[in-house]
Structure formats: C-alpha cells, structure tokens
Structure 1
Amino acid sequence: MEYLTTAELAKIWNISPRRIGVLCTEGRIEGAIKKGKMWLIPSVAQKPADARFRKDGC
C-alpha cells in the first residue's frame, strides 16, 4: 500500500496540512497511521465530508 504525507495530500485535496492532521487525529481519515510525529495516509483515502454542512441542506 502506498502512503502519502499530510503535505502531499494537502496539495491533492486543496486544504492545509494542518487541517489534514486534525482530521487524522479525529479519526475521520480511515487507515491513517502516525509514525513518530508524521501522519501516513493511504493514497486511496477519501476526503471526509465537511462536518459544518448537513446532507439534507439544512
């Protein structure tokens, strides 16, 4: 399995590396593992939905 760092994934998902770290800490990115101080995220991981908005539009 290929893993990406937060910086690499930040460019793909167009969000900050810090935000990706927070998502990993919250357990919202499946398969992410912490190796020392660095998060390793599977390259096939899906970007989690924004929790500020509900799916039904309210």
Structure 2
Amino acid sequence: MNYLSAKEVATQWGITRRRVQVLCEEGRIQGAFKISAVWVIPKEANKPEDKRKIKKTSNE
C-alpha cells in the first residue's frame, strides 16, 4: 500500500494541511496513522464529508 503525507493529501483534496491533520486526529480518515510527528495517509483514502456545512431545510 502506498502512503501520502498530510501536505500531499491536502493538495489533492483542495484543503489545508492543518485540516487534514485535524481529520486524522478525529479518526475520520480510515487507515491514517502517525509516525513520530508525521501523519501518514493511505493513497486510496477518501475525503470525509464536511460535517461543518449546514444543511438548509425546505422551510428556509
């Protein structure tokens, strides 16, 4: 299995490196693990859904 750094994944997904690190810390990226101070993420990992987005109801 090939792995990428948080910086490489951030570039692929169009988000910041820090956001990728937070997703890893929260356990939202399957297969990600930490070696010393570096997050290692499987190349095949999928970007998790952004739970920060607010869904509008049909009443709005």
TM-score, normalized by the shorter chain, greater than 0.5? yes
Mapping of residues 28-39 of structure 1, within 5 Å? 28-39=28-39
SS in 2 for 1:40: strand
Task: Quote the offset at 1:57 in angstroms.
Answer: 5.0
Greater Rg over alpha carbons, structure: 2
Give the equivalent residue in structure 1 for 2:45.
45
Aligned AA (2:9): L
RMSD: 1.4
Using the aligned pairs only, state the percent identity.
47
Aligned AA (2:26): E
Give the equivalent residue in structure 2 for 1:7.
7
- Where structure 1 has 5 or more consecutive residues not aligned to the other structure, the ranges are none
Aligned AA (1:3): Y
TM-score (norm 1): 0.90
Q: 1:38 to 1:49 in 2, by over 3 A?
A: same
Task: Quote the offset at 1:53 in angstroms.
Answer: 3.3
TM-score (norm 2): 0.87
